[in-house]
Chain A
Amino acid sequence: MTDYIIEAKGLTKRYGKKLALNNFNLQIPFGGIHALIGANGAGKSTLFRILLGFESPTVGETAVLGMNSEQLSPEMRGRLGYVNEEHSLPTWMTAGEVTKMQRNLYPNWNQKVYEAVLGNFDVEPTQKVAELSRGERAGLNLSMALAQSPELLILDEPTLGLDVVAKQAFLEALMHTETETNTTIIYCSHQMEEIERVAENLIIIENGRVIYTASPDDFCERISYWICDFDEGVPELSSIPGILSLKKIEQQYHLMTVDQQAEEFKEYLLSVGAENPVQAPVNLDKAINSVLAKNHKSPTELV
């Protein structure tokens, strides 16, 4: 288990009757920014907690940096950064005190990175953490996490609740660091414009399983968006090949499909009575939404 920075094998996590992860398998190579995408309750946070050893899997095992997650040593934890959506920090301390504490704790502390990243935010060392805005707190947290020079940085919805400006600063800081330090970053977010901007690899999970892994471009290429009319009635949904969603908007039908050749699908549409079928461009947001919507009902079909 050393070829991948993260590896999960046959991971199942059950909370009473609820199945949070269901035979979850994942391999993430070293380097790059990997976006973990999924609806609420898909199992993303559970996966992170298991990866960091805060929870035990019901079945299966995970390894981070080649070490079993349940046996992560303090030294290994020093090589793993983790930023949660709350940006948990000691609110009673000043930014300077918190930074000093972290600096003493991490032997590979990179003050240059810290200052460069924090420079994107308006944080004074004398300010108490409790007095920082959510964006400033996120910035402080990210700068410390990156200054620790982690080999792997897990960001669990780090921009949740941030305003546009703070989000912008956060993403710029993140991209700057990834290129500078070669840290592998696992980025979890519901914000597709962020994902589109930073991620090199998408990992889409639904109902506790990985349903798709690809680069954003490859993923978008597999999704097609068609607009047409059906004067003689819409065909049976299940008979439409690769259908993800079908919506009627202003007397026109909008279809999202996966893994369909344009010419072949156009011929199919014409054969079932569609008039004027037109393929429209598809963006990542739309593509992911259609996949998640489809798999919300039958998650196993695309695997």
Chain B
Amino acid sequence: MIDLFKSEFSRYKYAALAFYLVQVLVWVLVSRISFILSPGVNKYLIITLAVIIPGFLFGVLSMGLHSRKNNWAYLLHRPLSKHKIHLALTASAVSLLFIGFVLPLLSVVFALDVFTNNVVDVRHYLFSAHMFALVSITYFIGCFLILTPSKLSILAIWIISYLIVPNLGVASLDLALDLVFATMLFLVVRGSFNVNIAEFASGKMTIIISALILQPAILFILLISQALYYHLPLIAMGNHPGTNTESDFYRGFYNAKSMDAFAQVISASDYADKKSLLRQLTLSEFDSIPRTSFPLAHKGQLFIKDSSFAIINKTDNEMWVFSHDKMIFEGRNIASGIAVGSLTAQGFKSLDAVLTQADLFKAVPLSLEGRTIIFPDQIYRIDFEQQLFVLKHQLTKGEFYQSPVKYAFERVLLSTNKALHVIDQIDYDDPDLQVKTENVVPHPISTNRDFTIELTELLDGFLILYASQHYHGFNMPGAAIKYLQHDGNTDFLGSIEFPDSHLPALIEHQPFMFSPLTMNLVNGSLNSVAKFNENPPAEFRYFWQQRYDITVVLFALIGSLLSAVITFLLASKMPLSKSNRWTWTLLNLLLSIPGLVSFLILNSQSKKGDI
């Protein structure tokens, strides 16, 4: 096995070395004109593409060369088990990919850490581990493509789109997800690595993993095919329900003018003075809280996932970068690279100052906006000229900011996980003053239901409109208005609901109908909780907790049963063992229609070749 490893390694070692040298050169050049330790979608995409494309291509190329008939015979016909052969190939491939495409960045990060004053945390090194996982995963996908009978197994590539989407959790979560997918793919490639290359794997674990890794992409394709038979024809006829502006539907309400939306909720309320409010609306201006909410920043998250990483002091040409390892900002001169001091929770500190526990920030900043630094429960204002670091706003325990600072109606609006804080703008802009919230308006629903907030100012106060697809529960859209009067009193004017959807249930709930399990895999707990670190309401989390029309549920059940029956019948005509026939049948009872499609894809050769 070692000999085979060495043989494979020596085959590509010079190519790996060449890639290493070229990439190091590129990174050194880039680091001279840009901050490679900074986040940013473009930079991140370039770094990621620089590993995932070579990983995939190398998988296709190396396994493709081996898979040629005579080469395959040479490789497999030896007194060595196929698992050992596969392990030798994999070990050599990932070693080469590491040298060629991960080590360059790692080397540059190491050099920046050792030879410069750049802030380099453990998380910067962990990013290389993430890249290593990505390059290995794409290599496995390339191999999987070659080793499975159908080239539609390329659909497994969705995994990359899943893993490269910025994850806002801690690095360990990223790496754990990487490890899960890398392990699954390693096992599935190992299971597909058969002496008879045309034969699909017969191991049950390989069957299950192969089917699972194709599900989301198949479901996605099934869903977008909806456009062909429903949306496009209706759009062409000018009859599409999406163009329906009737306010009976949430869609119409959502797309309506702000004034009309406010008026609709007020009209439906029992508020005594609603006529006056409606009259004032016609002369009012409207504004909204940004829908983009702060991601939760975590100590030790991969550096490319930082929402922001540094404050620039243009006057002195300084950059102040937050160190996750030290939990302070470290400043250095951009031109000379010389360290200039640190910025702590207690203010600016010189280089020789001894820092205490009180100097350390308790959390990672959520956002660095100009001279404003937003932590989860504190907002600071920084003044480099005066060397001032002022705490502007502080939340109570358990409350944290969710969206950027919003200036509107001569107020500053801060949306948190619990309430809307309304602050006097003049006070907020006073550089030396810690402000207190003028009014706190608790949200009428939990913020994890993804709602919008719109405001308008009337004579005696503000009307605040809350709207959500899930206002009254799962898929029960609605809206409500609160009236914040200038004297501080808050009235709940009332809420409305939209029992009917603009789309037929069988179109709207297709993800559930096609495959409740896969839908949940994509949209449910795994994605929302694990991947994006969100916390959807418990009653929305799993498909069995979500409420659907009985018709939709019936269709989902029929889909599952039909998929299982069709699978069984087709499998009976294929050269599958009895136990594998039942494995597929039970699997597709769970996975439903996308499962059936994956069965057809993965067994396409069996149907065609062996009669």
Given contacts A82-B77, A92-B10, contact A55 B198 (CB under 8 A): yes
Interface presence of A126 (CB below 8 A): no
Question: How many whole Å from A100's CB to the nearest CB in chain B?
Answer: 7
- B8, chain A: closest CB distance, angstroms: 9
B29 at the interface (CB under 8 A from A): no
Binary interface encoding of chain B residues 27-59 relative to chain A, with 1 for a CB under 8 A from any of its CBs, else 0: 000000000000000000000000000000000
- Answer whether residue A74 sits at the interface, using C-beta atoms and an 8 A cutoff: yes
> What is the distance, in angstroms, from B202's C-beta to the closest C-beta of chain A?
11
Complex Cα–Cα for A75 and B4 (A)? 17
| Complex Cα spacing A238 to B79, Å | 53
**A14 within 8 Å of B by Cβ?**
yes
Interface residues on B, range: 20 to 34
Q: In the complex, which residues of chain B have a beta carbon less than 8 angstroms from the beta carbon of A107?
A: 79
Measured between beta carbons, the chain B residues less than 8 angstroms from A75 are 79
- The one of B74, B196, B610 that contacts A89, using a Cβ cutoff of 8 Å: B74
Contact assessment for A77 and B77 in the assembled complex, using a CB-CB cutoff below 8 Å: yes
**Chain A positions 102 through 125: 1 when the CB is less than 8 Å from some CB of chain B, otherwise 0:** 001111000000000000000000
On whether the beta carbons of A14 and B611 are closer than 8 Å, the reply is: yes
B79 in contact with A101 (CB, 8 Å): no
Partner of A54, one of B10, B76, B575, B610: B76
Instruction: State the CA gap A93–B199 with chains docked (Å).
Output: 31
Task: Give the chain A neighbours of B73 by CB distance below 8 A.
Answer: 49, 52, 54, 82, 84, 88
Pairwise interchain contact B79-A77, C-beta atoms closer than 8 A: yes
CB-CB under 8 A from B76, the residues of chain A are 54
Contact stretch, chosen from B64-72, B332-340, B369-377, B445-453: B64-72
The answer, yes or no, to whether B172 is at the interface (CB within 8 Å) is: no
Give the residue among B6, B195, B575 with the most A Cβ atoms within 10 A: B195
Cβ contact within 8 Å between B79 and A78 = yes
Q: A15-B609, A16-B609, A84-B73 known; A54 and B197 CB under 8 Å?
A: yes
Instruction: Report the minimum CB–CB distance from B375 to chain A (whole Å).
Output: 56
- How far is B6's CA from A92's CA once the two chains are assembled, in angstroms? 12
Contact check, B80 vs A105: say whether CB atoms are below 8 A apart: yes
Give min CB distance, A170 to chain B, whole Å.
18
Q: Name A's interface SS.
A: loop
Bound complex: CA of A72 vs CA of B196, how far in Å? 11
Structural contact, A84 and B70, CB atoms closer than 8 A: yes
Check if B611 sits within 8 Å of A88, measured CB to CB: no
Contact with A along B1-32 (1 / 0, CB 8 A): 00110110011000000000000000000000
Report the Cα distance A52→B70, complex, angstroms. Answer: 12
* Binary flags per residue of B188-200, CB closer than 8 Å to A gives 1, else 0: 0000000111110
Chain A positions within 8 Å of B196 at CB level: 53-56, 70
Given A74-B81, A84-B73: A53 touches B3 (CB 8 Å cut-off): no
Alpha-carbon gap, A100 to B6, bound state (A) = 12
Is B78 positioned at the interface, with any CB of A under 8 Å from its CB? yes
State whether B610 touches A101 (Cβ < 8 A).
Answer: no
Give the distance in Å from the alpha carbon of A82 to the alpha carbon of B72 in the complex. 12
Note all chain B residues with C-beta closer than 8 A to A101.
3-4, 6-7
Residue A41 at the chain B interface, CB threshold 8 Å: no
Q: In the complex, are the beta carbons of A105 and B78 less than 8 A apart?
A: yes
**Binary contact track A12-41/B, C-beta < 8 Å → 1, others 0:** 001110000000000000000000000000
B-facing mask of A198-211, CB < 8 A → 1, else 0? 00000000000000
15 residue pairs of the A-B complex, CB under 8 angstroms, read A54-B72, A54-B196, A55-B196, A55-B198, A56-B196, A70-B196, A74-B78, A74-B80, A77-B77, A88-B74, A90-B7, A90-B11, A101-B6, A101-B7, A105-B3
Q: Give 6 A-B pairs besides A88-B71, A90-B11, A105-B79 with Cβ atoms closer than 8 angstroms.
A: A54-B197, A56-B610, A93-B10, A104-B3, A105-B3, A105-B80
Q: What 8 A-B pairs have minimum CB-CB distances, sorted nearest first?
A: A78-B79, A88-B74, A101-B3, A88-B70, A86-B70, A84-B70, A74-B79, A92-B11
